[in-house]
Each structure stands twice: as C-alpha cells, then as structure tokens.
Amino acid sequence: AQSVAQPEDQVNVAEGNPLTVKCTYSVSGNPYLFWYVQYPNRGLQFLLKYITGDNLVKGSYGFEAEFNKSQTSFHLKKPSALVSDSALYFCAVPVSGGSYIPTFGRGTSLIVHP
Amino acid sequence: DVKVTQSSRYLVKRTGEKVFLECVQDMDHENMFWYRQDPGLGLRLIYFSYDVKMKEKGDIPEGYSVSREKKERFSLILESASTNQTSMYLCASSLLPGPGANVLTFGAGSRLTVL
C-alpha cells in the first residue's frame, strides 16, 4: 500500500537555526510528494510539491524539500527558522488506483523557540 | 485565490442530532473532499466527489453521508451524531481529475463537539 510516514511527532528548534521535518514514503513507481502546513486554528495550506526533475524543490515562506529516491525520503527544510514557522506540518502522497486522492502523514508539530 | 468556505467554525451538538456541515468553493473546481482531523491520526478521508451528484467513500465513511447538488457546494451530514464524531472537519477542493499532481485548497475547518 502506498503511504507516507512522519517519524517525529514534534520537532523543537531555536530561532535562527536550520530546521528539518522528516517524511519517508512507500510508493510504487515515480511518486508525487507534497508538503502542507497548518497554522493554529486554520486549515491546511500548500507549501510545495515534487513531481519530477530537480530533487530540490523550493516552496512558500522560504521552505524547501529534498527528494531522495534511494532513501525514499522527502524531508522539509529551512535554513533559518522563525518563531512564526511554528505549526503542524503534513507530508502527503496521492494513492494510485484510479482516484489519486492524497493520503496524509500523521503530522509533525514544529516548535521554534525564541 | 481559490477560496473554500466552511460555514461553521465551531458547533456544539447533542448525541442523536442531525448535523450539516456546509462547504462552498468559488473557483469551479471539479473535486471536493471531506477529511476528519484528530490528534495523532492526521487527516482521514471521509468522502470525496468528482462531480455534481457524484460521491465516493473514503477511508472512514461510516456514520456520515454527503450531498453535492451543485458544483460549488459539498455538504457533510451526520445523520445521528455520536460523541466519537467530535473532531475537526476539513473541506478541500482541487481542480483537475486524474493522476496525482493536484494541489488541495482547504477551508479553515469546522470544529464539532458532540455532547
């Protein structure tokens, strides 16, 4: 079955330090991979996606993600964290079988400390 | 920008009540979705729809039904609310049918409490 996993429930980082939020996937064939962010009391917002091509994908708010086929990973990164980056982050992959509906990871809570 | 509007941000209902959650999108998207979000479980798909009057079950359809009479509106119905349906409900839409590159646009969510 196609799926994504986010191995960390919570990530803590100091403001100004680099951040990484991890995602691994299990997909047959070439994957489409997505990151979404959810700020407190809000719906999810699209951050970035990997379809094909360059393994480093740049997205909104200074975030980027690196597609690594050998490690089946799609980790979200930012060189310098801001307190305002504190939010819930979801990795997602469309599930094949006709519908291609996204299935989401369980989410990782990012806390950036001042 | 595409807007997905969920009519109720917070609802409190009693066990056994019928509950309607309304969702409207303003950009002529074909696809609409209802997810349920619970801590530690992420998002789980309840129902989705590709077109007017069309619906497909997601991963957890039990206890729910949906209605899509117009392209822009997708309603989630709890026929007889139960306490285990206390949750955050997220509506989303996307433009294109078919394989995988679709970005979902989400509403702000409806937090339902069933007493």
Q: Give the DSSP letter string of B72-101.
A: TEEEEEESS--GGG-EEEEEEEES--SSS-
Q: What is the pLDDT of residues B54-106, one digit of tens each?
A: 899 998 999 999 999 999 999 999 999 999 999 999 999 988 655 556 789 99
Mean pLDDT of A97-104: 71
So what's the pLDDT on residue A102?
A: 84
Query: What pLDDT does residue B97 have?
Result: 59
Q: How many CB atoms lie within 10 A of CB A96?
A: 16
Answer whether A99 touches B (CB < 8 Å): yes
Stretch B14-42: mean pLDDT, rounded?
93
- In this structure, of A39-43, A110-114, B16-20, the range with the lowest mean pLDDT score is A39-43
Structure tokens at A60: 């909104």
Confidence of residue A42 (pLDDT cuts 50, 70, 90): confident
Is the alpha carbon torsion for B11, B14, B15, B18 positive or negative? negative
Beta strand spans in chain B (E): 4-6, 10-13, 19-21, 23-25, 31-38, 42-49, 56-57, 65-70, 73-78, 87-94, 105-106, 110-114
Phi, psi of B85 (to 5 degrees): -100, 5
- Work out the burial of residue B83: count CB atoms within 10 Å of its CB; fewer than 13 is exposed, 13-18 middle, 19 or more buried: exposed
Cβ–Cβ pairs < 8 A, chains A and B: 59
- Are A65 and A50 contacting, i.e. CB atoms less than 8 angstroms apart? yes
Q: Which residue of B has its CA nearest to A52?
A: B101
* Residue B54 and residue B69 in contact, taking contact as beta carbons nearer than 8 Å: no
Residue A76 has pLDDT above 60, yes or no: yes
Instruction: Kindly state whether A74 is in contact with chain B, defined as any CB-CB distance less than 8 angstroms.
Output: no
Q: What is residue B69's three-state secondary structure?
A: strand
The pLDDT of B35-45, averaged and rounded, is 92
- Average pLDDT over every residue of A1-15: 92
Q: Is the pLDDT of residue A43 over 90?
A: no
Which residue in A51, A99, A108 has the most chain B C-beta atoms within 10 A of its own C-beta, making it the best mutation to test that interface? A99
Is some CB atom of chain A closer than 8 A to the CB atom of B89? no
Mean pLDDT across the stretch A12-41?
92
Residues facing residue B93 across a β-bridge: B32, B105
Contact between B40 and A45 using a beta-carbon 8 Å cutoff:
no
The DSSP call for residue A15 is T
User: Residue A109 pLDDT > 80, yes or no?
Assistant: yes
| Lookup: tokens for B53 | 């009057």
Give the lowest-confidence range in A94-103, B7-16, B104-113.
A94-103
Averaged pLDDT of chain A:
91
Residues of B in contact with A51 (CB under 8 A): 101
Report the mean per-residue pLDDT for chain B. Answer: 91
Q: Grade residue A96 by pLDDT with cuts at 50, 70 and 90.
A: low
**Mean per-residue pLDDT, A81-107:** 85
In the prediction, which pLDDT does A29 show?
77
> Which segments of chain A are extended strands (E)?
3-5, 10-14, 19-21, 24-26, 33-38, 44-50, 56-58, 64-68, 73-78, 87-95, 101-104, 108-113
Q: pLDDT band for A81, please (50, 70, 90 cuts).
A: very high
- The single-letter DSSP state of residue B14 is -
Neighbours of A23 (CB within 10 A): 25
